[in-house]
Structure 1
Amino acid sequence: MSTPPTSFPPAGGYQTNAVATDVKQASDGTKARLAGRVLLWRVMGGLLFATLIDRSGTVQISLRRDEVGEKRFATWSEGVRRGDFVGVSGEKYVTRKGEPTLAVAELEILNRAQRPLPDKWVGVSNPEVRYRRRYLDLLGNPESRSRFEARSRLITAIRNFLDELDFLEIETPILQHAASGAAARPFITHHNALNEDFYLRIAPETYLKRAVAGGMERVYELGRLFRNEGMDSSHLQEFTSLEWYAAYWDYRDNMRVVRDMILTVMEKALGTTKITYQGVVLDFGAEWPEVDFREAVFDHTGIDLTTVRDVATLRERVREAYPNSDIGEAPSYAAMADTLYKRTVRPTLIQPCFLVHHPVELAPLARRSDNDSTRVDMFQVVVNTWELVKGYSELVDPVDQRNRFIEQQQMQAAGDEETMMIEEDFIEAMEFGMPPMSGIGIGIDRLTALLTDAPNLRDVVLFPSMRREGD
């Protein structure tokens, strides 16, 4: 058997009229011309069977020596290797075992693989390899490929849903002068041309609100955010988020719309509103109960956040209740209340629910409640202990907003690194006037992971950030 050349000039292109699934569904005798990558290549005397994969899936192809001739059969059977790209044409038939197959009459090698693909039966099983070399994962693991196809369908369904509600998709800066819109540590970069430091955005919120102030009453953005924080199975430092803002809505309007959107997207993308995530059945179609933030904290800890309103008292109560915990070491009231909730309440929230009426310190951009100025008109959707959605009636009072930003700076001075910066441009826009509005943020990676039973967010991000190999 001759040895295939180590190099091969890639083809400039190849005209096709079908994909793999077309061949499978076609009638016997249908002629087809397709291109793809060779996953399996088995020569058995004068008969050759192979598996070809393209964007639609896989299909079996076959070559017979007595049909294509001795010379061409020898050239093709000895010259093609697993991983090579080929173009083929021929007629569809069904084998005696019932496998739809393309009987190849013509074959062209389009490009060669210089490295061998992973074992054809095992695929890529090592998570580190799967994340670093996603192209191999997609080739060898149909489940992984299916997740990313589902992700694309989810995003398309979301856009269609918002388009029907007369929202406009817009774009806001990724490089920003201030890290604002969420409580998070930012990434910092330097703009050489302007000779200024910028922050990679942690949220597009304040810019989307500027657009609403300019008369674009319903806007959304679906894109990447960056938060320089810890990384685990449900947190990534670079992730995809959807935010929308609607003038003249309040948080209750958004609660209804968010639930409707999630159910609609699930029906369109998955065909069901009940899923199983890591063995737990999650019923999105059932009622979503409301869980009051402060009541839930009191039920689980005995600490009443409605009366405990300053950081010193809260620290004292937390240390009494949890003497061996680091919760009481949190640098601010907001950080301590949030950590208290996350350690005690959130682990109990499995089925879809609305968490409502957070302390005002936790949401510096949210509107105070009319009947209780110590809380905000806010909600979160929590599923399987994951905070999937956050939304609230927006603060549009520039005086209150400036005071909240000042409080954030005081918290930062006290050691809380996850605070917002003052945005003078944003406050100025608010001073020119903003309509009442409500907005939400949805983690697309988390939503996709839940709906596709992915145990780690990296399983639904094509190319996640990784430590360099060898470090």
Structure 2
Amino acid sequence: MKSLGIPVYPEKFNINTALHEAAQLQDGTAGVRVAGRILGLRSFSKLIFVTLSDIEGSLQLLLNKETLGEEAFKQFDKWVDIGDFIGAEGNMFTTKTMEKTLRIQHYVFLGKALRTLPDKWHGLTSVETRYRQRYLDLIMTKETQARLLARAKMVSAIRNFLETNDFLEVETPVLQHTSSGAIAKPFRTYHNALDTELNLRIAPETYLKRLIVGGYAKVFEFAKCFRNEGISPQHLQEFTMVEGYAAYWSYEETMQFMREMVLNILQRTFHTTTIHMNGLAVDFASEWEIVSFRDLIMKDTGIDIDLYPDVQDLYEETRSRNISVDHAEAESLGRGNFIDLLYKKTCRAKLIKPTFIIQHPIDLSPLARANDQNPLIVDRFQLVVNGAEIINAYSELVDPLEQRRRLEAQALLRSNGDSEAMEMDEDYLTAMEYGMPPISGWGFGIERLLMVFTDCDTIKDCVLFPLTKKI
């Protein structure tokens, strides 16, 4: 093609209509300029039908030898293949089979594919290839296109909803001296210039609260977070957390706000509040159940966790009931982490419809405010849908002396072998000592939310480029 003077990789092509928009134009609309990748070719003696595609849609094009000219028609037929890119200009019409089509008057070659695309009839069947070469998956798999396009729309809807409600978007550090803000194992790295060990953040929480100390009233962040934990269909080691805080709110106001946000996301992204999960149609506009952490565990296991203030006694009770928590370090976990493990193994998968779980044990929530009536539980909720925790929120602990006591207890658990216990964070405690107002905060993972909304079996399908093992 180069030897014939055909520009194989030209600089640009001016389009005036997206492919999915062109399909909505009226017949006779002239001067329509589109571009895309060729995913279908049907050649006849005087006609060539072309299917152009991109992530948002596709459009049929028609090359007519009489309209285009014999030389240009022959050149297209000889040199252009499936996988190549072209730009075209023409007029819209509807074929006898009622398909909107662009009758090409002029086309430009825009890029040659040197590798052959997978067979469109069989698709991209290798899961490993779909993850390692996501660009091929996006080209070939409609379901992947729709899900990851929905992700972009969902992110836009979330940001719009929060900004409309006067939340300010901020950015906080990824490299941190401590791994505070959640209970998880961090990834560790080394800063050469500062000669110091650092962690990749597991959550933006304590830095966002520092901003409340600094005078912000409502903040949120789309935060890349990293947790060095096991692989499962519901967990990623690198994920996007949306976390926000409102001064002067309680967790009860946040519950209502999160419900409004979820309904808003569903309407803007999917144009419905009804989602199909496990063969069931779940209408999120219906009332959401509210159940306490204690009652949920008691219903599914028969164990009243309030009767076992000592973790070893609780562990023995689960064994006596033949309840397996299936965790290698179960005996070394603190009470809060063990209760959380018990809940995840016996209760969570049974929750399909939207359910608020409230009144978590204080052992499980080192940064949450203790309940005024019962100091052994905290003012916290989790939203669970289809067996997945999609939102975690609580009234924040703002008493620096109580916070120090709890972090010291976490540090002791950590020194005794609980690797998921929280680290001491002196800088955050210093910030708290300058004074904090009442605060309520919330956080959720974009990928987990998308997984639930699209009834997806594995969270890897909800990220553009999931991490895979190096070959």
Q: What TM-score does the superposition give when structure 1 sets the normalisation length?
A: 0.95
Equivalence for 2:170? 170
Q: Distance in 2 between matches of 1:128 and 1:325?
A: 30
Equivalence for 2:459? 457
Choose from 320, 343, 346 the match for 1:341. Answer: 343
Contact 1:319 1:325 in 2 (8 A): no
Q: Deviations over 1:291-318 (max 9, x none)?
A: 1111222233232222311223222322
Equivalence for 1:18? 17
| DSSP-derived class of the 2:306 partner | coil
* Distance of aligned partners of 1:58 and 1:313 in 2 relative to their CA distance in 1, 3 Å threshold: same
Q: Distance in 1 between matches of 2:450 and 2:323?
A: 38
Q: What pairs up with 1:36-51 in 2 under 5 angstroms?
A: 36-51=36-51
**Deviates most, 167-176 or 105-114:** 105-114
Q: Distance in 2 between matches of 1:254 and 1:111?
A: 51
Equivalence for 1:392? 394
Letter in 1 for 2:79: G
How far is the alpha carbon of 1:220 from its aligned partner? 0.5
Q: Distance in 1 between matches of 2:267 and 2:436?
A: 36
Q: Distance in 2 between matches of 1:69 and 1:324?
A: 74
How far is the alpha carbon of 1:55 from its aligned partner? 5.0
**Deviates most, 203-212 or 62-71:** 62-71
| DSSP-derived class of the 1:101 partner | strand
| DSSP-derived class of the 2:352 partner | coil
Equivalence for 1:221? 221
How far is the alpha carbon of 1:8 from its aligned partner? 6.1
Letter in 1 for 2:145: R
Q: Which stretches of structure 1, 4 residues or more, deviate above 3 A after TM superposition? A: 2-5, 323-328
Q: Distance in 1 between matches of 2:168 and 2:324?
A: 50
**Deviates most, 435-444 or 132-141:** 132-141
Letter in 2 for 1:459: D
Letter in 2 for 1:364: P
How far is the alpha carbon of 1:405 from its aligned partner? 0.9
| DSSP-derived class of the 1:374 partner | coil
Contact 1:227 1:238 in 2 (8 A): yes
Letter in 1 for 2:13: Y
Contact 1:278 1:455 in 2 (8 A): no
Q: Distance in 2 between matches of 1:303 and 1:383?
A: 23
Q: What pairs up with 1:233-382 in 2 under 5 angstroms?
A: 233-322=233-322, 326=326, 329-382=331-384
**Deviates most, 113-122 or 55-64:** 55-64
Q: Distance in 1 between matches of 2:354 and 2:325?
A: 29
* Distance of aligned partners of 1:50 and 1:415 in 2 relative to their CA distance in 1, 3 Å threshold: same
Letter in 2 for 1:12: E
Equivalence for 1:410? 412
Contact 2:8 2:109 in 1 (8 A): no
State the Cα RMSD in Å: 2.0
* Distance of aligned partners of 1:296 and 1:96 in 2 relative to their CA distance in 1, 3 Å threshold: closer
**Deviates most, 167-176 or 405-414:** 405-414
Letter in 1 for 2:11: G
**Deviates most, 293-302 or 40-49:** 293-302
* Distance of aligned partners of 1:325 and 1:48 in 2 relative to their CA distance in 1, 3 Å threshold: closer
**Deviates most, 431-440 or 277-286:** 277-286
Equivalence for 2:180? 180
How far is the alpha carbon of 1:14 from its aligned partner? 0.8
For structure 2, which runs of at least 5 residues remain unmatched after alignment? none
Work out the number of aligned pairs and report it.
468
Contact 1:52 1:59 in 2 (8 A): yes
Contact 2:312 2:331 in 1 (8 A): no
* Distance of aligned partners of 1:226 and 1:252 in 2 relative to their CA distance in 1, 3 Å threshold: same
Contact 1:251 1:378 in 2 (8 A): yes
How far is the alpha carbon of 1:67 from its aligned partner? 2.4
Q: Distance in 1 between matches of 2:13 and 2:286?
A: 51
Contact 1:4 1:80 in 2 (8 A): no
Q: Distance in 2 between matches of 1:88 and 1:4?
A: 23
| DSSP-derived class of the 2:269 partner | helix
Q: Distance in 2 between matches of 1:351 and 1:238?
A: 27
Letter in 2 for 1:252: E
Equivalence for 2:140? 140
Contact 2:33 2:89 in 1 (8 A): yes
Choose from 433, 440, 452 the match for 1:431. Answer: 433
Q: Distance in 1 between matches of 2:435 and 2:146?
A: 47
How far is the alpha carbon of 1:381 from its aligned partner? 0.5
* Distance of aligned partners of 1:206 and 1:77 in 2 relative to their CA distance in 1, 3 Å threshold: same
Q: Distance in 2 between matches of 1:299 and 1:449?
A: 27
* Distance of aligned partners of 1:407 and 1:103 in 2 relative to their CA distance in 1, 3 Å threshold: same
Q: Distance in 2 between matches of 1:139 and 1:368?
A: 51
Q: Deviations over 1:315-338 (max 9, x none)?
A: 232222227665663522122211
